[in-house]
């Protein structure tokens, strides 16, 4: 079952409107609608909050590994398929080139599968700052992979 279908099914079963779910999560009804249509995908921390509303485990809504690694899929140029060893080597070289804290935040997210709240607490940063670091690092990785693989 997709994340969109799972959220819709749980909300419907609980007899909540999109607005009621949005109010409980402190988000807009429009965002809930986007989750349910699949045009936006909540991060795992948000999935945890959604799961809390319905008293289910986050894994009932999404596979954590698949969700986290989906974030990285945009970094690899389209049409490129790499053996795991080659991708690992490229990632190691990339991480050696970026500032240590950026690399640590990246590894905490994509290797240790920590959510942004856990990373923020560990480094005493705001969650938005962590998201910003991750976004910039993914852009740098995409550029690096494009250069290395062309």
pLDDT in tens, the chain (150 residues): 899 999 999 999 999 999 999 999 999 999 999 999 999 988 877 998 999 999 999 989 998 777 777 778 888 888 888 887 888 899 999 999 999 999 999 999 988 888 888 999 999 999 999 999 999 999 999 999 999 988
pLDDT at 66: 76
CA pair distance 58, 50, nearest whole angstrom: 8
Please indicate, yes or no, whether residues 82 and 145 belong to a single structural domain of this protein. yes
Q: What's the half-sphere exposure (Cβ side, CA atoms, 13 Å) at 23?
A: 5
Crossing angle of the two packed helices 116-123 and 127-149, in degrees rounded to 10: 110
Please indicate, yes or no, whether residues 16 and 57 belong to a single structural domain of this protein. yes
Please indicate, yes or no, whether residues 138 and 78 belong to a single structural domain of this protein. yes
Contact call for residues 117 and 45 (beta carbons, < 8 A): yes
pLDDT at 10: 97
CA pair distance 34, 41, nearest whole angstrom: 8
The number of folded domains in the chain is 2
Domain interval for residue 16: 3-62
Q: Which of 37, 62, 87 is the last residue of a domain?
A: 62
Please indicate, yes or no, whether residues 106 and 49 belong to a single structural domain of this protein. no
Alpha helices in 14-115 (DSSP H): 18-25, 29-37, 44-54, 64-73, 84-97, 100-110
Rounded to 10 degrees, the C-alpha dihedral 36/1/43/12 comes to 40
CA pair distance 119, 107, nearest whole angstrom: 10
pTM for the full model?
A: 0.64
CA pair distance 61, 44, nearest whole angstrom: 10
């Amino acid at each position: 079952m997709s994340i969109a279908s799972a959220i819709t099914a749980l909300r419907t079963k609980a007899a909540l409107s999109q607005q009621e779910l949005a109010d409980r999560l402190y988000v807009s009804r429009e965002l809930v609608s986007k989750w349910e249509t699949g045009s936006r995908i909540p991060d795992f921390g948000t999935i945890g909050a959604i799961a809390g509303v319905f008293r289910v485990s986050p894994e009932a809504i999404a596979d954590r590994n698949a969700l986290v690694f989906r974030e990285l899929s945009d970094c690899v140029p389209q049409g490129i398929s790499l053996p795991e060893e080659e991708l690992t080597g490229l990632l190691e070289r990339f991480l050696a080139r970026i500032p240590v804290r950026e690399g640590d935040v990246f590894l905490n997210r994509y290797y240790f599968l920590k959510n942004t709240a856990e990373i923020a607490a560990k480094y005493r940063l705001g969650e938005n700052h962590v998201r910003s670091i991750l976004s910039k690092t993914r852009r740098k990785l995409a550029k690096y992979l494009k250069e290395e693989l062309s």
